[in-house]
Amino acid sequence: MVSYYVPVPGGQLYCERTGAGSPMVFVHAGIADLTMWESQVEEFSKDHTVICFDSRGFGRSRTEAVDFEPVEDLRAVLDFFQLGSAALVGCSRGGQHSLDFTLEAPERVAGLVWICGGVSGAQHEAPAEQTAVFDRIEALWQAKDWDSLVDLETHVWADGPLQPEGRAPVAVREKIRQMIFQLETRNEPEPKPLPLGRPAAARLQVIACPLLVVIGALDTSGTRASADLLTDEVAGAERVDFSDSAHMPSMEHPERFNMALRAFVARHSL
């Protein structure tokens, strides 16, 4: 593994490159950092160049309090490593940004794996029970009650918002809790991501690269609705459902996830 700092306007993105072969770029979730991909790096660096990076405001990346476009940060990573195109694997926030990048720069994306993400511009009304959970998260954030906030966020994203406390494996919950705690207590200027000029929801039909949609049945209703939208709107979209996972199936079931990703990569010669 070799580490780098990729310069971007108002900051530097911490990156790690491992392995050799056709490139795969992993984009982490909005509750995580690049270490969420440890199992995938170990597996896919056997025969691919695997690049992971901490997004602006996360992990070991550095930033000033600037407005920025996540799509342009992702472009900067590909440019830094001189990648004409790559397979993108994005989870949660990283899935939405990877989808946006696919629409903005289709020639740079050999294939897209969207995991429990969002679709910019999509509308969804969550059930009241779930909304109440997120209202509680907002109240704890406003109160700066970090321990209670991190505990609740860990429950939502590891177990599932409407699942029993502690449903997910202990080691997975602890890793997710650690990443969330580091994020919530981060002492750094907060950058502001700018929305995509043309949201993805109205443009999904133009996606032509291979697409794999991965979703956990225990995830939020909005994420599951986004998975349905992608499956319905993108011609040829493939899908893998994890009936026993919430928001982080690549961490909760890494072997099964890696098998699904490996099969997708092989089918499309990525």
Kindly list the domain boundaries of the chain, sorted by start residue: 2-124+189-267, 128-184
Distance separating alpha carbons of residues 189 and 183, to the nearest angstrom: 12
Which helix (H) or strand (E) element contains residue 221?
A: helix 221-233
pLDDT confidence of residue 188: 87
Taking alpha carbons only, the member of 179, 16, 29 closest to residue 89 is: 29
Which helix (H) or strand (E) element contains residue 50?
A: strand 48-53
pLDDT confidence of residue 187: 87
> What is the DSSP annotation of 78-147?
HHHTT-S-EEEEEETHHHHHHHHHHHH-GGGEEEEEEES---TT------HHHHHHHHHHHHHHHTT-HH
Buried b (16+ CB within 10 A) or exposed e, 87-104: bbbbbbbbbbbbbbbbbb
pLDDT confidence of residue 97: 98
Residue 142's CB is within 10 A of a number of other CB atoms, namely: 9
Distance separating alpha carbons of residues 270 and 264, to the nearest angstrom: 8
pLDDT confidence of residue 189: 87
**Positions in the chain short of pLDDT 50:** none
What Cα–Cα distance (Å) separates residue 69 from each residue in 6, 73, 107, 183, 197?
A: 15, 7, 19, 20, 10
Topology (CATH) of 2-124+189-267? Rossmann fold (3.40.50)
Residue 229's CB is within 10 A of a number of other CB atoms, namely: 17
Give the global pTM. 0.97
C-beta separation of 195 from 202 below 8 A: no
CA neighbours within 13 Å on the CB side: how many for 226?
29
Distance separating alpha carbons of residues 176 and 32, to the nearest angstrom: 7
Residue 77's CB is within 10 A of a number of other CB atoms, namely: 21
